[in-house]
Structure 1
Amino acid sequence: MDELLGFLRPGTRPDVQGQAVGHVLGLTGSAEGRALLAARPAFLEALLLLTGDCRGAMAQDSYLALINLSADPATHGALGPALPVLLHRLLDPGYGLADQACTLLANLSRAEGTCRRLVQAMQAEGPGLGLAQVMEAFCTEGYNKRAALHYLGPLLSNLTQLPEARQFLLDRSRCMVQRLLPYTQYEGSAIRRGGVIGTLRNCCFEYKYHEWLLGDEVDLLPFLLLPLAGPEEFPEEEMERLALDLQYLPQDKQREKDPDIRKMLLEAILLLAATKAGRQRLREKGTYLVLRELHQWETEPDVLAACEKLIQVLIGDEPEAGMENLLEVKIPRDVEERLQHLDREEEEERSEGCGAQLGSQGLSR
């Protein structure tokens, strides 16, 4: 490993250096190789240095190796100092490897600690300036002619796990959330679409903004329900309860294909149902009608469970006085432990019923 590291250092012949980077990239394809490299921060530092190499192939392979390594949170400490540089590269409209920088930042920002460091790097650019630039890059078609920047979606979703990022996007004077809404139907990339829906879901944790999000100024609900709706026809009296965008949908209307995205949509709506006013709004807008048809169509166990939970909240009795806000209700520890135990038992029964399935987050490529 020491010998291999030596070949990555500046001053090495380009052909030898290229072969060494290729060998390191190969090591990142296995868990053992990633563990071997993650334990040696000098390799991460050398690869970061090589991402600035003027030879495209060398820089690209270095990025790919770092992307694979960044799936392991153990590497984030060594990669943390590079966050400001990666951010500047991402936001440079002429940078040819912006997609790779974006994917690396998306991986790094999944961990809360690194995410916080990235937000701090953004704030160093000026009050909210960094996040404003990220939003501008996301919402501007062709921002970088050489990069699609689809991983800006997951990056935004990761950033909004922090309250300060959510507060920035929910600032009524900036109209940020409204700019994201059309991307809930974005067909060009499931990665970008899922990132936006994850961002909106995270913003829904801020229940003080629910009335605004559900009101006419934002009107979030139809954008969350439309991907879950199919081509079903409703009786006239039911149709009139739905938002205009959900009425008389064409026969070729398809639901969101990605089950993870469908689940996030349901989770966002469930968060909006946390307050009494939110639940009332959801009922008035015919949310149950869309969920009823989705429940009959859905086959994925996790999505079906999320749908059933939301339906139960909408059709169940209202909580007693003082417990109307479900996000503020404090559950006793023993009750919470029993509920978690029941959830685990239910998950095990579900797994036995549908056969063993290996779940994998996969590595970003």
Structure 2
Amino acid sequence: MIPLACEHLVGHSEDPTIFKKPQLVPIQDLKLLVRDYPPIAKNALTILVNISHDAEVLENLASDDTFIEILLKKITDPKETAADEVAMLLSNLAKSDQMEKLITLKRASPAKDVSTSEYALDQLFDCFVKGADGGLNKNANFDYLAYLLADMSKHEAGRQHFLSKREYDGVVPISKLMVFTEHKSHIRRRGVASTIKNVAFETQKHPLLLADDTDIIDGSPGVNMLPYILLPLAGSEEYSEEESANMLPDLQLLPPDKARESDNEIVLTHLETLLLLSTTREGRDKMRSAGVYPLIRETHLRVDNDEVREACDRLVQLIMGDEEETPRIEEVVDDDGKIEEIF
């Protein structure tokens, strides 16, 4: 009877108020059911995902350290059948500032093929990277962790975490995300784009972000971010021989069926990242030497979106203008965990 009852409740989870009375007792019951056998646990997780947008429910879940540990244990288990539901719930909970604790939270290391780090955020990062397309758990793709990473990167501590070489694997975490800017999953592409943009607010780290992976910056290989941001902006357009020769190698000789990113919001996010990287003289020089202008010109011509075109205009003014004025940035965090910039 319990499995059927729990399944029936999923259909009522559009209204969080049903599960809040009396005194959030139903929420406590759902937390217990998450530890039940798989069919019940999966339905309980689905309900919590659906109602966790409610502020009171969100804070109740995010402040419960015991419950967070249960979720972390489940998502780092390669045999967990509801790992994607856990990923969705964690990504929702990351909207709460209380979840900043994941950045410094130490816990038992999971199986070695999952992660060898004792830090929760490293473990989630490794689940996201290794687990793409079922590579870690045949039941999950971990795509929704992209949104959790974006929300973690809205915190300064999170950005420093993503931009510092980790002892357990010797890798700068943000460099692991670059390959997903053109992934087939829209969720991954969107979350990764926001995370990349957020870390670009750390202007002192721009040399690391812009350096080639063969260069060593402060003891770490360069992230080589630029080609991974530019590729989603590129279509199948043809350029003059001179323009093509000045572009980064990854942008030259693209296949005739190369498609530009179809989501204008993601296109805009990448353009805003380029704007942030252009706030330093070194960044602007890099844009010029990499032949960014023709690509931005074609994006402006071919994307029918006012915000995208405005961002293209601003970027062109920065990289093609004079050097008399120094751009400035300020941070404003939006509801999607993406930091908005003001120049």
> Shared fold (TM-score greater than 0.5)?
yes
Deviation (angstroms), 1:38: 4.4
Letter in 1 for 2:68: L
- 1:95 lines up with 2:85 in the alignment: no
In 1: Cα distance, 2:108 partner to 2:312 partner: 42
Partner of 1:344: none
TM-score by length of 1: 0.77
Q: Kindly tell me: are residues 254 and 114 of structure 1, through their superposed partners in 2, closer, same or farther at Cα, counting changes over 3 Å?
A: same
Partner of 2:112: none
Following superposition of structure 1 onto structure 2, how do residues 253-292 of structure 1 map, counting pairs within 5 Å? 253-292=258-297
Letter in 2 for 1:234: Y
Partner of 2:19: 37
Structure 1: tracts of 5 or more residues without a match: 1-14, 330-339, 341-365
Q: Kindly tell me: are residues 304 and 72 of structure 1, through their superposed partners in 2, closer, same or farther at Cα, counting changes over 3 Å?
A: farther
Letter in 2 for 1:50: L
In 2: Cα distance, 1:37 partner to 1:63 partner: 13
* Residues 213 and 220, structure 1, Cα contact 8 Å, conserved in 2: yes
- 1:73 lines up with 2:49 in the alignment: no
Deviation (angstroms), 1:242: 0.5
In 1: Cα distance, 2:32 partner to 2:224 partner: 46
* Residues 266 and 307, structure 1, Cα contact 8 Å, conserved in 2: yes
- 1:229 lines up with 2:234 in the alignment: yes
Deviation (angstroms), 1:300: 2.6
Partner of 2:321: 316
In 1: Cα distance, 2:304 partner to 2:20 partner: 39
In 1: Cα distance, 2:317 partner to 2:327 partner: 16
* Residues 236 and 259, structure 2, Cα contact 8 Å, conserved in 1: yes
Partner of 2:193: 197
Partner of 1:130: 120
TM-score by length of 2: 0.82
In 2: Cα distance, 1:285 partner to 1:326 partner: 23
Partner SS state of residue 240, structure 1: helix
Q: Kindly tell me: are residues 223 and 52 of structure 1, through their superposed partners in 2, closer, same or farther at Cα, counting changes over 3 Å?
A: same
Return 84-93 or 122-131, whichever deviates more. 122-131
In 1: Cα distance, 2:85 partner to 2:298 partner: 40
Which of structure 1's runs of 4+ aligned residues deviate more than 6 A? none
In structure 2, which of residues 106, 123, 136 is the aligned counterpart of residue 143 of structure 1? Answer: 136
Deviation (angstroms), 1:223: 0.6
In structure 2, which of residues 292, 296, 301 is the aligned counterpart of residue 296 of structure 1? Answer: 301
Partner of 2:175: 178
Partner of 2:44: 62
* Residues 80 and 139, structure 2, Cα contact 8 Å, conserved in 1: yes
In structure 2, which of residues 32, 35, 57 is the aligned counterpart of residue 52 of structure 1? Answer: 35
Return 150-159 or 291-300, whichever deviates more. 150-159
Return 128-137 or 231-240, whichever deviates more. 128-137
Q: Kindly tell me: are residues 237 and 252 of structure 1, through their superposed partners in 2, closer, same or farther at Cα, counting changes over 3 Å?
A: same
Aligned residues: 306
